[in-house]
Amino acid sequence: MQRAVVRVCRTAASRPANLSRARYLHHLNRQVSPTHEQRIAAHHGRRSGAAGALLRQVCVVPVVAGVRYVSKTVKVPTMAESLSEGTLKQWTKQVGDFVERDEEVATIETDKIDVSVNAPEAGTITELLAQEEDTVEVGQDLFKMEPGEGGSAKTEAAKEETKGAAKDKAAEEKKEDKKESSATPEEKKDSSSKATEAKQESAPQPEKKQQPAPQPKKQESLGNRSEKHVKMNRMRLRIAERLKESQNTAAFLTTFNEVDMGAVMEMRKLYKDEIEKKHGVRLGFLSAFAKACCQAFKEVPAINGAIVGPGAGDTIVYHDYVDLSVAVSTAKGLVTPVVRNIESLDFVGVEREIAALGAKARDNKLTLEDMAGGTFTISNGGVFGSLMGTPIINLPQTAVLGLHAIKDRPMAVNGKVEIRPMMYLALTYDHRLVDGREAVTFLRLVKEYIEDPRRLLF
């Protein structure tokens, strides 16, 4: 790294009278050492007079390739209105690493998603101002960087210094090994015998040999009984808080029904290949239930409503749109990305949106916008083999529909026993807003639409 000498002068004259112009410029432009700076300052300081004493300040600043860089501090970015802090989960870059513009430097874990902190411009990381697992707030200084194209000379010098220290250490170890190996066998034997004699002389001699105490009988091994303690991540903590908040706020009640999936399965069998070939999406069952719920909301709007306001809430909101929260299981926990305006989408549109959000959830790329809102939730535990369950309401929503596994069961059809593919449905609702009659009516309508999907066309 080069060094430039910056001088700030307060004097009537631009240079000392006893110093020629060429020599003065030579002093300004040459690379100087601290002792040389002191010598020049002392020499110039001798002059005083009516023009005023010469006052100089000498400082050394870094200059790389003729350009002077200024260290830049990067702060924790704004994440969302509801998020003011997070946990610094990982540094993806370290001190000395060069980063391009918008390249990820750190990952911050929040209550809902992971936020990437990117470099605002190309440069070299010079200092990390927080450690992993620290809680960081929006606007807090996070790291420092030295802007510029390519690695800085300072970084290269540090790397060369590290390499030199490693080489010196290796050379010293090699020298010691060589010195030890050069000793003759007689010298090694003599040294060993002297050490043994000294050890025997210094060791205390026992007065009387004592009999060892009898060892207790060993118990039979109970196998491996180890434990592993893992700290809960912010998302898991937030999930726990929200579930308890929901449980303590809403008046939970669950009603059940069962639906014959034969008609929907037949429709899927007929059109899934054509839809996948034409639109590039797979036709599943979730789109049918989403559209069935939209139709049922027209007759039971309270299921798509919410209670809002201070405390436990004092205002009812009835939505004339349907933003469907779809429960997706990830490695970090359950997330509920939202498909907007389900009522205006067809089967293919619903499946496309669900597939896109599911992929983003599994790749940990969901944004806060993907998670915000939602007027109703569908949770499909059937993909994991669940036969029956009571889902928990996602506040401030009023209800959640739980889907379960499809099982062949004997059913009475037109006075005859037939084996039909059956699924249990569970609707958990907030009894503060939804009465039992409304909940049962809604679930019965969903059942009718699924058992005759042609009704969804009008």
Question: Do residues 296 and 419 lie in contact, with contact meaning Cβ atoms separated by under 8 Å?
Answer: no
Contact 171, 151 (CB under 8 A): no
> Is the C-alpha dihedral spanning 162, 167, 170, 172 positive or negative?
negative
Distances (CA, A) of 297 to 164, 231, 294, 372, 376: 73, 42, 5, 21, 10
Q: Name 339's bridge partners.
A: 324
Confirm whether 431 is a catalytic residue: yes
DSSP letter at 394 equals -
On the 0-12 / 13-18 / 19+ scale of CB atoms within 10 A, 434 is buried
- Which listed residue (134, 177, 435, 452) is catalytic? 435
User: What is the full DSSP assignment across 367-384?
Assistant: -HHHHS--SEEEEEGGGG
* Residue 335 amino acid letter: V
Rounded to 5 degrees, what angle do the CA atoms 230, 231, 237 make?
130
Dihedral, CA atoms, 408, 412, 416, 417, nearest 10 degrees?
A: 30
d(CA 53, CA 51): 7
Q: How many CB atoms lie within 10 A of CB 55?
A: 12
DSSP letter for each residue of 235-267: HHHHHHHHHHHHHHHS-EEEEEEEEE-HHHHHH
User: Measured between alpha carbons, how far is residue 366 from residues 18, 130, 371, 377, 394 in Å?
Assistant: 71, 25, 7, 17, 18
Q: Going by C-beta distance under 8 Å and a sequence separation of 6 or more, which residues neighbour residue 202? A: none
In sequence order, the β-bridge partners of residue 198 are: none
11, 121, 316, 327 from 375: Cα distances, Å = 74, 40, 13, 13
Residue 337 CB coordination number (10 Å): 23
* Catalytic-role residue among 26, 36, 43, 431: 431
Provide the 8-state DSSP code for 157.
H
**Residue 320 tokens, joined:** 């004339």
CA dihedral 181→183→184→186, nearest 10 degrees, is -120
Q: Residue 324's closest CA among 373, 382, 366?
A: 373
* Residue 190: active-site member: no
Please give the positions annotated as active site: 431, 435
